[in-house]
Structure 1
Amino acid sequence: MNDGGPLEDMTLVVGRAAAGDPEAWNEIVRRYSGRVWAVCRVHRLGPADAADVFQQTWLRALENLDSLRDPAKFGAWIGTTCRNESLAVLRRARRAQPVDDSWLDDRPGDAADDPVSSFLAADRDAELWQAFRRLSRRCRDVLRVLVVEADGGRPSYELAAAALGMPIGSLGPTRGRCLAQLRRFLTEGIRETGDDS
């Protein structure tokens, strides 16, 4: 995942870190510390528990760095790992401390108030653009003109055909094939991410 700016591919960074390069490890921590803290905040951990989960998450990352199936998806992996560590801390706390119904009053009632939504949206967008970059140049151009840059959300097939040098009649079927391929790439990514956690 690229968190902004032209950064080195995560596969290379993770490979270098797994080989013992401290600069690569520092780069990974720099890129993803914010995400780890965000997951801790979403789970409403106290400062001490959040610090423990933060450290435990990075320890798990260090232990598993050389065995990740898809280092390019390190961001999703570290988020899932932190979530699992956070939930483990919360389970232990519930066993140790009984809670009454007033605890439910502190929970957000509206999905718009949910602090995790912006985090999940950013993660979803990053996965979408990563899958988009895997498409052929032709598919990227077609989807960019017909979907991403469509004026007011409604594409002009005449303008798109002229811009892409394609017959109008082939735009719809090509768009459909490209969207199906994009959906396939996203589904593969979700399956792989689920397998890694």
Structure 2
Amino acid sequence: MDRTDAGALVQAAADGDAAAWKALVEGLSPLVWSVVRAHRLSDADAHEVYQTAWFRFAQHLGRIREPGKAGAWLASTTRHECLKVIRSAQRLTLTDDPRLLDRASEDGTPEQSLLDSEEAAAQSERVRRLWQEFEELGERCRQLLRVLMATPPPSYHDVSAALGIAVGSIGPLRQRCLRRLRARLEARGAM
């Protein structure tokens, strides 16, 4: 296809002439295929590049500055698409080594990452509800449970001195407070 014919067909195709588009594809397809074959792509990649080159050509059809050089534009675009495919294939390393294929990813699978993040969100919500219900307990229960949660745990004598509670009452009071907290959580469906 000479430049004059190509230029006229590009103008007509840009104006919506389907016959001109068909003539361009028929006339320039051998050029596109020759560029693709020169890059020795697999059949699947070759067909993908062929389609992509024509797609890009159709996208830019009305903006091609020199319609007579449509063949050069198409060859250049095809070459760029071939190089993209080759570069992306170089990032992959094909292997049949079972030690590499069976190796678990340090990051885990995407599915496991999703499950882990959902579990972390659910755990965070449980903790938030627990503290919300804890704050609704009476002042005496909150004080006692806070003191008993200290690290290292204080002796009952220290708790008795700090809160003014008889040593023998600390255990039963602790149990009542925890039962109330559990009942509140169960009533809200948090357990």
TM-score (norm 2): 0.47
Q: Which structure: larger Rg? A: 2
TM-score (norm 1): 0.46
Asked which structure has the greater RCO (Cα within 8 Å, sep 6+), the reply is 1
